[in-house]
Amino acid sequence: QSALTQPPSASGSPGQSVTISCTGTSSDVGGYNYVSWYQQHPGKAPKLMIYEVNKRPSGVPDRFSGSRSGNTASLTVSGLQAEDEADYYCCSYAGNNSPYVFGTGTKVTVL
Amino acid sequence: EVQLVESGGGLVQPGGSLRLSCGASGLTISRSWMHWVRQAPGEGLMWVSRISSDGRNAVYADSVRGRFAISRDNAENTLSLQMNSLRAEDTAVYYCAIDSGRYFTYWGQGTLVTVSS
């Protein structure tokens, strides 16, 4: 199972929006409504930000939103804040034999 | 507050073995499927293994199948990962995580495994 493809980096000024793509195949991203996104600050554990493509766990600001078109999922962070600077990973369910595949990760920088 | 705490990491020689543990507090894990996810230094996340809530069904990534074994003790609220025939490429921080429906809600802080001579 190959990793999902994400851009290595993305950036924006405070208050702006940034969108991160996550490209897979019809066997993972495009085949199931189980795309999730995780935020990871340096030296910390990942934190769930989006699940089931576009749902937000309680406590996650509504500045974070998810979507999908075909085999590509996206995470949008609106109204960028300094604390949003982190690595972001997508993840997709991919069936019973090799259930989960992560994206390559995107480093978001707040300029 | 839900907490997952991993332990058992350390330095091991290639070909050696190590057993990781993950203890849970603040929730009973017996109803949850559980996972191990790892992250090599400076690299991204990689899913390693999953075990069903009753411990009867386990699945592994191709790169660890046949060398790693996941298990759980619901009475003790713990998850384990037995790692054998370790290779340099297994060097990583290993996280345990709780599955809440094909996504990972809670993560431990991770334990570092270094495979080196």
Of A32, A52, A89, the CB nearest to B45: A89
Structure confidence at residue A83 (pLDDT)? 97
Instruction: Evaluate if residue A97 carries a pLDDT over 90.
Output: no
User: Contacts of residue A91 in chain B, CB cutoff 8 Å?
Assistant: 45, 47, 103-104
Q: Name residues of chain B where pLDDT drops below 70.
A: none
Q: Residue B115 carries which side chain, given as an amino acid letter?
A: V
Instruction: Evaluate if residue A96 carries a pLDDT over 90.
Output: no
Structure confidence at residue B107 (pLDDT)? 97
B81 class by beta-carbon count within 10 Å (0-12 exposed, 13-18 middle, 19+ buried): buried
User: Contacts of residue A100 in chain B, CB cutoff 8 Å?
Assistant: 35, 47, 50, 102
Structure confidence at residue A98 (pLDDT)? 80
CA–CA separation, B2 vs A44, rounded Å? Answer: 16
Structure confidence at residue B28 (pLDDT)? 87
Q: How many residues does chain B have?
A: 117
Token representation of residue A38: 């995780």
DSSP readout, B41-96? TTS-EEEEEEE-TTS--EEE-TTTTTTEEEEEETTTTEEEEEE-S--GGG-EEEEE
Kindly report the backbone phi and psi dihedral angles of residue A9, in degrees, each rounded to the nearest multiple of 5, phi listed first: -150, 160
Measured in angstroms, the CA of A95 and the nearest CA of chain B are apart by 10
Measured in angstroms, the CA of B90 and the nearest CA of chain A are apart by 17
pLDDT digits (tens, 9 = 90+) for A23-61: 999 999 999 999 999 999 999 999 999 999 999 999 999
